[in-house]
Every structure is written in C-alpha cells, then in structure tokens.
C-alpha cells in the first residue's frame, strides 16, 4: 500500500517517491509550508525487485498527472537500467540526479570520489540503519549463518554511514552494524543532500 499526503490547493506538484525517503521528504515539505504537493510514497521493498520500480512509478504518475501541473520522481535510477527514465519521458516528469540515494545524499562528485578511492565501500542511510536487521542482516541469513559473512562482505573494507539527521542512537547503531560486518566505520553528515534543492527548486 502507498502512503499519501494530499493538498487541495490548485497548481499542485505531484511527487512519486521511494518510501525510504518519506521522513526526509515530509520534513522538507514542512519547511516549504503551504506549497501545494500531492505526494505518493511507494514501498521501499521495491528495491528488492528494482525492475518493478518503473511500472509502479508509471501507475502513480498516471494518477497524479490528472490533477498536478508538474510531476517529480523521488528516485535515482535505482537499478532500473534506464527504464525509469523512459517512464519519466512519457509523463514529462523529472527525477533526482544520480544512480541511487547514496549519490544524491552525498552529492554526485563526492560519491564518485569516495567510491573511486575505495570501491569496497558499503553505505547506510538513516533509513537503512533503522532497518539494518530487517533489510540486511537477517535477509542475508547472517543471524543464522555467520559463516556467510566472508562470502557477502569479504571484498568490502569500510562502511560509510550517510546521515540525514543528528541522532546519537542511529550513530551508535551504524557503528554496531560496521562492527557486525567486520568493516571500518566512517561517517558523513549530508542532511538532505540534493533532495532539498530538488524539491525547493520545483516549489
């Protein structure tokens, strides 16, 4: 099921976004006050089957396009191999720059620099830190079969926590995740990254 926040004002901006960005998007929209957005969040679980993202976005944009003057998409390419951009072209919509949320939170140049310097980097955002056990540790079977750790993470050397908030509990949880994965811990505070100017520019 999608989660919706609606405005009845005219001249609305329609936004289809990944549910993993809900906290950040709603916080930015709150800053913008009375700017009329109609926002539809799609399940973050779509990232488990990224080729399903374009169809889900297509359906959501078709619905929002009936009442909105402009359409935005709160995804990067997100593993769709360009298929998402075909959907955007169909609807005249625009999306966040970058391949994924790590890039648009960090900024495209900084992400490239970090990745080029150390390709064996595992990234966590606030959302992924909160959901580390349910989206990473348990689905990979590491809670039941710790011997799989080397198979999954043997080529990784560090974990970078990309934080959107200043939350001591999340910081501790991210550090614990790095310890459990046997990776060196690093932290980058990005706040909303490119997400903020993307929404404010549209508004």
Domain ranges of the chain: 3-95, 102-189
| Contacts with 27 (C-beta within 8 Å, 6 or more apart), sequence order | 192
Query: Is residue 198 within 8 Å of 108, Cβ to Cβ?
Result: no
Q: Whole-angstrom Cα distance, residue 75 to residue 162? A: 17
Number of residues in the chain: 203
- pLDDT at 15 (0 to 100): 97
Q: How confident is the prediction along the chain (203 residues), in pLDDT tens digits per residue?
A: 344 444 344 578 999 999 999 999 999 999 988 778 999 999 999 998 999 999 999 999 999 999 999 999 999 999 999 999 999 999 999 999 999 999 999 999 999 999 999 999 999 999 999 999 999 999 999 999 999 999 999 999 999 999 999 999 999 999 999 999 999 999 999 999 999 999 999 87
- pLDDT at 35 (0 to 100): 77
pTM metric for this prediction: 0.89
- pLDDT at 2 (0 to 100): 43
Q: Whole-angstrom Cα distance, residue 184 to residue 198? A: 32
| Contacts with 93 (C-beta within 8 Å, 6 or more apart), sequence order | 16, 61, 70, 71, 72, 73, 87
- pLDDT at 203 (0 to 100): 73
H/E segment holding residue 160: strand 158-163
- pLDDT at 6 (0 to 100): 40
Q: What count of other Cβ atoms lies within 10 Å of the Cβ of residue 167?
A: 14
Closest CA to 92 of 131, 65, 119, 129: 65
CATH of the domain spanning 3-95: 3.40.50.1860
Question: What phi, psi does 154 have (nearest 5°)?
Answer: -60, -25
- pLDDT at 46 (0 to 100): 95
- pLDDT at 42 (0 to 100): 98
Q: What is the strand order of the sheet 184-189 is part of?
A: 121-125, 158-163, 184-189
Question: What phi, psi does 11 have (nearest 5°)?
Answer: 65, 40
Kind of pairing between the strands at 68-74 and 121-125: unpaired
């Amino acid at each position: 099921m999608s989660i919706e926040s609606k405005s009845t004002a005219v001249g609305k901006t329609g936004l289809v976004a990944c549910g993993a960005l809900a906290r950040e998007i709603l916080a930015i929209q709150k800053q913008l006050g009375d700017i009329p957005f109609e926002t539809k969040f799609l399940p973050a679980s779509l990232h488990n089957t990224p080729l399903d993202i374009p169809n889900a976005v297509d359906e959501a944009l078709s619905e929002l396009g009936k009442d909105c003057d402009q359409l935005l998409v709160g995804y990067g390419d997100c593993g769709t191999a360009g298929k998402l951009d075909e959907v955007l072209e169909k609807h005249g919509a625009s999306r966040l720059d970058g391949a994924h949320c790590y890039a648009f939170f960090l900024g495209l140049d900084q992400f490239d620099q970090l990745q080029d310097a150390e390709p064996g980097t595992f990234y966590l955002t606030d959302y992924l830190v909160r959901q580390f056990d349910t989206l990473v540790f348990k689905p990979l079977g590491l809670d039941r079969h710790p011997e799989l750790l080397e198979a999954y993470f043997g080529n990784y050397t560090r974990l970078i926590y990309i934080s959107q908030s200043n939350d001591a509990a999340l910081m501790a949880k991210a550090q614990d995740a790095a310890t459990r994965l046997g990776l060196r811990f690093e932290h980058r505070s990005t706040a909303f990254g490119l997400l903020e100017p993307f929404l404010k520019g549209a508004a």
